[in-house]
Amino acid sequence: MYIIDNADIYSEEAKDIKQQSFIIKNNSFHSIKATKMKSSLMKMNVASFIMTPTHVMLDEKLPNTSFPLLKQYFIKNFLQEGCHTIITSFAIQYEFQFDEELHKKRITLLNSPVDYCIAIRLPLEKLSTSLIRKCKKEKIAIILLEIQDESTINDIPWGWIREAMFPYNPILVPTLLTKEESRRKLILKQWNDVLGKEKIPKLSKELLQKTPISIKDLKKFGLYPKRGDLHVGGEINYNLYFKNGIVAEQSKILYDNSRLAIMVHKGRVITTANHVTFRPGFGEEIIIRRTSLFV
């Protein structure tokens, strides 16, 4: 047992910083206090840093390349960015490809140094009740839907889709194929109007690649609080940022990602300012049992 003392925790939702101390036991947060702890246990004073949960990012284009290049890719895009969990997808054009492509994706991730959650990507017009049932069976909770034109949104039998989704309720995420801004706005408006009316579990906009996913979306996906939160009983996953990278602007506090000092995952120091430990196969698949638990 030991104590993480004087931790300034950045809250994305509250947009503020609060001070807490943690007792660590059996590689989990055993106790959390809002004040400095008086104890004979060994203490790790982190008063010089800002502490946050590690990030979750979407990356649909993991390269299929040699090990040295793949290692550099993971280090540059995730481990040095305070990210130790990714959402990555397998793509299909037809439903019969589901099992084979999912198997291939899992094989390619066996040596992943970061935890991963598998999503599926397909054209919106290929969405069906039978495919939804496959996603429920395999616990694929995130469905990325390619949309070229807003008119296709009205062609889907949303009532049947909603019934097939229950009770697992995978989350539908729009992926816009057009770059024309006016068209993108029309598509997203139609998406939110139609799916909102039909009460379909969804995100209202696209997810950005290689960018920290918001707490709001992590909650909808069912990844929170396993990811995105520091709580009693949770894994020891956190980032420490140098405080001189902080900029305060009224109630909003921003921190500079380039000032990452340390990333800890499952109690192990993975990244420091001068070194990254690359552990192939250290990552595990995260299975989402229930979505929208804290929404």
Return the minimum-mean-pLDDT range out of 43-47, 181-185, 211-215, 257-261: 257-261
Distances (CA, A) of 116 to 88, 113, 194, 247: 7, 9, 31, 31
Return the minimum-mean-pLDDT range out of 20-29, 132-141, 248-257: 248-257
Per-residue pLDDT tens digits for 158-189: 999 999 999 999 999 999 999 999 999 999 99
Average pLDDT, the chain: 93
What is the pLDDT at residue 35? Answer: 75
Mean pLDDT of all residues in 108-131? 97
- Is it the case that residue 248 has pLDDT exceeding 60? no
Quick check: 79 and 59 in contact, CB under 8 A? no
Greatest alpha-carbon pair distance for the chain in Å reads 66
What is the pLDDT at residue 8? Answer: 94
Mean pLDDT of all residues in 54-64? 94
Q: What is the rounded distance in angstroms from the CA atom of residue 141 to the CA atom of residue 131?
A: 12
Higher pLDDT, 125 or 13: 125
Return the minimum-mean-pLDDT range out of 76-85, 211-220, 258-267: 258-267
What is the pLDDT at residue 246? Answer: 63
- Is it the case that residue 97 has pLDDT exceeding 90? yes
Distances (CA, A) of 64 to 113, 182, 183: 15, 35, 33
DSSP 196: H
Q: What is the rounded distance in angstroms from the CA atom of residue 290 to the CA atom of residue 198?
A: 20
What is the pLDDT at residue 251? Answer: 41
What is the pLDDT at residue 257? Answer: 64
Q: What is the rounded distance in angstroms from the CA atom of residue 251 to the CA atom of residue 242?
A: 20
Packing angle, helices 129-138 and 158-165, rounded to 10: 20
What is the pLDDT at residue 250? Answer: 37
Number of H helices, E strands in the chain: 6, 15
Quick check: 70 and 283 in contact, CB under 8 A? no
Closest CA to 260 of 213, 212, 224: 212
Quick check: 218 and 171 in contact, CB under 8 A? no
For residue 253, what pLDDT band results from cuts at 50, 70 and 90?
Answer: low
Per-residue pLDDT tens digits for 223-245: 999 999 999 999 999 999 998 76
